[in-house]
Structure 1
């Protein structure tokens, strides 16, 4: 890694961003659709507006942090003037797929299709978050011995802190009234998607497994996840496809077959329609060879 400017590290082998930490005083870098080939943690310290991420919209106020995965489409429409901090890191710098047991952020902060990709920075964690950002900001400017190792250590603590905070903030669906069956359907639906997403790709399949009508299922998913059933299934498939593209040397055809697609070209079109990038380009810009080096 080499220093490109005071806030950004560049991967010397690829010329791509490896790690960066910057403040922003307006919304200009987020007022249009972004699809970046690295992870982004965007802390809105001041302001309010609407975040458009994937298929959904989320209202936000001051002290909201968004967690964005590589090539996830997002933009912010501000209502009140926006200021904050953005932390970016490429999977080559730190891969949450490879280190998910160490930081437990995959499926909490990132790649969670059931909860909004955001958390509130409350008073009890704000000081720690500020301190970690300050330490990373100071370290990124040093170009000193073991800089990469120290930055990764700070980043791990940052991700663990944010993941713990988000886990506490996630709605406890099963605490609903005993006569409300929806929370149990929601949990069963999550379990069914995790079990069958590689083989069952239609909303009707899951309605049948739940023994409810497709219309009733559509109403539940829209109400609780602000997504269609098709969106949920597609997002889950894409998350696994990206993981396979990044962590393995499997061909696109092998990955497609493992996810229930006999036709590699159909799968590639499905991937591009949902990720706005081909599987090959995703692997070339985010993953495999450099990740395994």
Structure 2
């Protein structure tokens, strides 16, 4: 079942699907959606994000944005999805309130998977029931109430993500630097490709950033920048008809050879070979998948 709210004045949209894998075709007409996916079943489910399989165990959540392509295995157990556009709730505008950008949305690290502990499951299920109740209550403050609930949901997930996905060795100020770095890379990776560029924007030295990320994970700031560039190149190769030369220029490379060198360094293959092999895999996989969005 799909519950929806439409704010006609600003084209605001917020939807709750109880079985997103089967109901998603009804949502694809909406553009620019951000999703929170929650496996409420008692079975593991596989979600493909940009052709990468993500296994969601029972009571695990993940997120996706309008930049990513999502597909599901046929027969996937019901996965609930909260889907909204920026006209309904802009996570950039409200970043100071929820601090989710760079952690659960638009991050440069791996796709986030958040696990609900036993003491959290009841709280999330209660919040879910309140969402359903509010979606079915039509009055002039419904949109405001749903925004408040969505904000609460995002904050709760972000808090869990900080404890589960970020090392406890980092204090809150250090976590905030990591988060802001991720957001800046997501915003500027096409034009800024050096760690010093981001260090300047964060008023830190490149060495400080490198030391901080050495504590955070095994990836250096430069590796994160490079991987974000290559991720975008992969998306373009998989989902558009653009040539490697066109993609290179779009990603800010003056020389196509520099783009080829970086792509091969990250993927161990040339762009055209990646496109050929990925599409061959996708052709076979599509027979087992529910449609992409």
Could you state the TM-score of these two structures normalised by the residue count of structure 2? 0.56
Q: Quote how far apart the aligned CAs of 1:28 are.
A: 3.0
Which of the numbers 76, 84, 87 marks the counterpart of 2:79? Answer: 84
Aligned runs of 1:264-279 on 2, under 5 Å? none
Aligned runs of 1:89-128 on 2, under 5 Å? 89-128=84-123
Tell me the SS of whatever aligns to 2:13.
strand
- Residue in structure 1 matched with residue 281 of structure 2 by the alignment: none
Q: Residue 60 in 1 paired to residue 59 in 2?
A: no
Which segments of 5 or more consecutive residues in structure 1 lack a partner in the other structure? 176-186, 203-208, 211-219, 238-255, 263-293
Q: Residue 70 in 1 paired to residue 60 in 2?
A: no
Which segments of 5 or more consecutive residues in structure 2 lack a partner in the other structure? 171-177, 195-205, 208-217, 234-248, 255-293
Which of the numbers 138, 141, 147 marks the counterpart of 2:136? Answer: 141
The RMSD of aligned alpha carbons is 4.3
- Residue in structure 1 matched with residue 243 of structure 2 by the alignment: none
- Residue in structure 1 matched with residue 22 of structure 2 by the alignment: 28
Range with greater deviation from structure 2 (45-54 or 99-108): 45-54
**Contact 1:40/1:67 (CA < 8 Å) preserved in 2?**
yes
- Residue in structure 1 matched with residue 46 of structure 2 by the alignment: 50
Q: Quote how far apart the aligned CAs of 1:44 are.
A: 0.9
C-alpha change, 1:196 and 1:85, in structure 2 (3 Å) is closer
CA distance in 1 between partners of 2:137 and 2:58 (Å): 31
CA distance in 1 between partners of 2:59 and 2:90 (Å): 26
**Contact 2:17/2:80 (CA < 8 Å) preserved in 1?**
yes
CA distance in 2 between partners of 1:198 and 1:99 (Å): 24
Q: Quote how far apart the aligned CAs of 1:27 are.
A: 3.8
C-alpha change, 1:95 and 1:141, in structure 2 (3 Å) is same
C-alpha change, 1:196 and 1:27, in structure 2 (3 Å) is closer
C-alpha change, 1:153 and 1:110, in structure 2 (3 Å) is same
**Contact 1:68/1:117 (CA < 8 Å) preserved in 2?**
no
Residue deviations 1:144-203 (CA, integer Å, cap 9, x gap): 23111111111111110011011111052979xxxxxxxxxxx8xx79x8598465549x
C-alpha change, 1:73 and 1:148, in structure 2 (3 Å) is same
CA distance in 1 between partners of 2:15 and 2:24 (Å): 16
C-alpha change, 1:124 and 1:233, in structure 2 (3 Å) is farther
C-alpha change, 1:127 and 1:120, in structure 2 (3 Å) is same
Q: Quote how far apart the aligned CAs of 1:17 are.
A: 6.5
Q: Residue 8 in 1 paired to residue 11 in 2?
A: no
- Residue in structure 1 matched with residue 240 of structure 2 by the alignment: none
- Number of matched pairs: 204
CA distance in 2 between partners of 1:163 and 1:228 (Å): 21
**Contact 1:113/1:236 (CA < 8 Å) preserved in 2?**
no
**Contact 1:8/1:17 (CA < 8 Å) preserved in 2?**
no
Tell me the SS of whatever aligns to 1:150.
helix
Which of the numbers 228, 235, 243 marks the counterpart of 1:232? Answer: 228
